Chain A
């Protein structure tokens, strides 16, 4: 990692509340281009909320957030910047969220055509290339419900990549998958990481995290409790909370 590059995400003193619940507490986070950051933590720790703030699916109440030169303001008061950020930041969801009324191909071409204004032909060529890359080019005419969970998640990845994002967010991308399908999705993500995509991944797959992450962040009760290279965080965790969390999740 060339840490001399200017960060693509710069989060300073970010705070988020759900009513009286303090979900994110003074979070500082910088991510540089090409970096793969994996966020781990117990459920309810705020890790999903954290990445959903980056593309404005969640509002925050205080602090500052800069994504690729676009300033997001507290309480959702930044619709113009938000629009720009969302065209530059792709996201893959736990529940895939494919559009069930559109074919696989149309799922992938919708945003490039409507947002980027590409011609159908350009969008379909890109879709074909991306579907090829995630290994499902032969399913382009099918509808999402006709695919397995693993295939659906790979379509979702292709759909996000079609917008040529500068940054990809993954919100527990394998948590809704049957065990035998987790590998195929992780493989596709591994490929993407190798190609140099900047990625922020929330996951419970610790083996995958150790393998692909440049940096692992452990979140506890809305705060970054500890972070570092995977070997350091997994092998010699400093924080007592990190130790007990890892002891729990690595047991099985």
Chain B
């Protein structure tokens, strides 16, 4: 074994043109999935805190199933399993977005539930005492405050989901990791290429962190 192995910077930089086309796919899958996951999360999160018992249990079931199984298994199930039911292949991009959506939806529904339940009881009492209906109380008083409290955990979930898309190289979606693997197959420069792949994830997640910090700062200014 060659212990004098050197990190080959030219190989690292040389991989950039091959990796860059993966970034739009990574972004498309993560943000497409998260956008749908956000609505799934609101839907099940609100069901979960419904006063009606039989509305709560589907939400509990949803969260337990999709939080309790690995996202890799979920995407394999969608991409390889579902076509057997549907009788036709599923586009890998669609499968990836769907997996992020259902998976992040489970976590986001817990974030929504926690956010709404964290609002002090007095807020609801004050709004009802002013004559607002339950719906108005939720819409104008509870939800805007809950949404603000949800921003940090939502950002967290966004970063987790972005990284989760790296698993989708297994279904052949041309995202970052997949692009790297294709390149390594011809150049055998795994160290350099995976290093660059990691840097690109970091660039995406770090940018998101900075944006979220700005939103948080602005959102909390009014409190």
Contact = CB atoms under 8 A, between A and B. Distances in A.
Contacts of B122: 93, 95, 97
A84 B123 CA distance: 20
Q: Which secondary structure dominates chain B's binding surface?
A: helix
> Interface size class for chain B?
20 to 34
Interface string B44-71: 0000000000000000000000000000
Given A99-B141, A100-B145, A83 B133 contact: yes
A86 B130 contact: yes
B104 to A, nearest CB: 26
A163 B130 contact: yes
B215 interface: no
A211 B130 CA distance: 28
B126 A83 contact: no
B6 interface: no
Nearest to A52: B125
B87 interface: no
Interface in B176-223: 222-223
Contacts of A116: 131
Nearest to A85: B131
Given A101-B223, A143-B222, A145-B223, A110 B130 contact: yes
A204 interface: no
Nearest to B148: A101
A83 B128 CA distance: 8
Contacts of A90: 129-130
Contacts of A98: 126
A83 B131 contact: yes
Given A99-B123, A114-B140, A86 B223 contact: no
Contacts of B24: none
B128 A57 contact: yes
B136 interface: yes
Given A93-B126, A99-B127, A101-B144, 20 more contacts: A55-B129, A57-B128, A83-B133, A86-B130, A86-B131, A97-B123, A97-B125, A99-B126, A100-B145, A101-B222, A103-B222, A110-B130, A110-B132, A110-B141, A111-B130, A114-B132, A114-B136, A114-B140, A115-B131, A115-B136
Interface of B: 120, 122-123, 125-133, 136, 140-141, 144-145, 148, 222-223
10 contacts: A57-B125, A90-B130, A91-B129, A99-B126, A99-B145, A103-B222, A111-B127, A143-B222, A159-B130, A163-B130
